[in-house]
């Protein structure tokens, strides 16, 4: 079924039988580059008779070009089973709208994680939990994904930077280096923006939005997290030590190289979105900022050492 308009919250709410005859109110939640999210309060919220508070997520039009919603829900369920994400309560087809419990807490920001070792430890422990305990049904090969996105970019006539051939050649060099001492694929989130982490009132860290999840190299997950946050090299070393149980220079190199790969992936993604998305967001500016950071990381004096020691 091809959707010609974004489904409204009222249209979704009217189809949830458990909420019929109740006082149901909603307000926009904001955030997100792929979906429209809303806070829904039923019968006055938690603590009230029959009350509850939820997040209703409506997929943006055109996002099915990037996201397999059924696969996302399977992986979400596997992550919820190991306690790192809230459970899916309702799924409404054919749009793929979902409802989960609302987590009372603080949505993270790059600056509320960077510089805060206790919170970084919670993040890495959470990531390690689903890496070790969850199993997803699909595989994500990040270098293949970049090639796939390049095909999409050409197909839709997306903007590409003048040096894209050079950047892809560097990506090829990194891919070849990554063939050495490859870790086994694990369940990965692959989109570890700070906004996807929520620290609840009891001090538990949660992770949401499993749209790009799949079995992948665990150090891509860690590199993707690092590139989204203004971490010091000492903090990046802390992450590897926390994750591996000891400092592993080879795994640090792997993670730091994946920072470059992640920015290439998401910059191409953003330029495609600029052409196809109906979400009100500056995808071009987002992509350009990622390319700027990518080039900065390429100029790190240790880049050649990372390639040699990964």
Name all domains of the chain by residue range, CATH numbers in brackets. Answer: 9-102 (3.30.200.20), 107-309 (3.90.1200.10)
- pLDDT, residue 31, reads 64
Assigned token pair, 288: 């350009």
- pLDDT, residue 280, reads 83
- pLDDT, residue 7, reads 82
Q: Is the pLDDT of residue 297 over 70?
A: yes
For 80-87, the CB contacts below 8 A with 24+ separation are 81/134, 82/129, 82/130, 82/133, 82/134, 83/129, 84/126, 84/129, 84/130, 84/134, 84/206, 84/207, 85/206, 85/207, 85/208, 85/210, 86/206, 86/208
> DSSP secondary-structure letter at 60?
P
Tell me what the pLDDT averaged over the chain comes to.
94
pLDDT tens, residue by residue, 12-32: 999 999 999 999 999 998 766
Q: Mean pLDDT across the stretch 272-279?
A: 90
pLDDT tens, residue by residue, 133-162: 999 999 999 999 999 999 999 999 999 999
DSSP letters for 243-308? HHSS--HHHHHHHHHHHHHHHHHHHHHHHHHHHH--SSS-HHHHHHHHHHHHHHHHT-TTHHHHHH
pLDDT band at 3 (very low <50, low <70, confident <90, very high): very low
- pLDDT, residue 64, reads 67
pTM as predicted: 0.93
């Amino acid at each position: 079924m091809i959707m010609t308009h974004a489904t409204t919250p009222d249209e979704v709410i009217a189809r949830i039988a458990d909420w019929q005859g109740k006082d149901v109110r909603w307000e926009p939640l904001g955030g997100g580059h792929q979906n429209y999210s809303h806070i829904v309060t039923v019968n006055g919220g938690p603590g009230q008779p029959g009350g509850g508070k939820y997040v209703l997520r409506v997929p943006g039009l055109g996002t099915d070009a990037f996201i397999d919603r059924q696969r996302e829900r399977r992986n979400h369920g596997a992550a919820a089973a190991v306690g790192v994400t809230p459970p899916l309560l309702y799924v409404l087809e054919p749009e793929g709208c979902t409802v989960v419990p609302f987590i009372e807490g603080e949505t993270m920001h790059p600056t509320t994680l960077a510089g805060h070792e206790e919170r970084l430890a919670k993040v890495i422990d959470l990531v390690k939990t689903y890496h070790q305990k969850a199993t997803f049904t699909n595989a994500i090969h990040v270098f293949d994904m970049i090639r796939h996105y390049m095909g999409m970019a050409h197909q839709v006539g997306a903007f590409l930077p003048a040096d894209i051939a050079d950047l892809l050649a560097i990506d090829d060099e990194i891919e070849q280096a990554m063939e050495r001492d490859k870790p086994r694929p694990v369940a990965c989130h692959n989109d570890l923006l700070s906004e996807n982490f929520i620290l609840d009132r009891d001090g538990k860290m949660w992770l949401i939005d499993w749209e790009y999840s799949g079995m992948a190299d665990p150090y891509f997950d860690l590199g993707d997290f690092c590139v989204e946050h203004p971490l010091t090299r000492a903090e990046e070393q802390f992450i590897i030590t926390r994750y591996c149980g000891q400092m592993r220079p080879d795994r640090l190199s792997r993670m730091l190289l994946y920072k470059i790969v992640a920015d290439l992936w998401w910059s191409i993604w953003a330029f495609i979105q600029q052409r196809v998305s109906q979400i009100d967001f500056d995808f071009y500016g987002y992509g350009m900022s990622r390319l700027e950071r990518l080039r900065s990381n390429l100029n790190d004096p240790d880049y050649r050492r990372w390639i040699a020691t990964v």
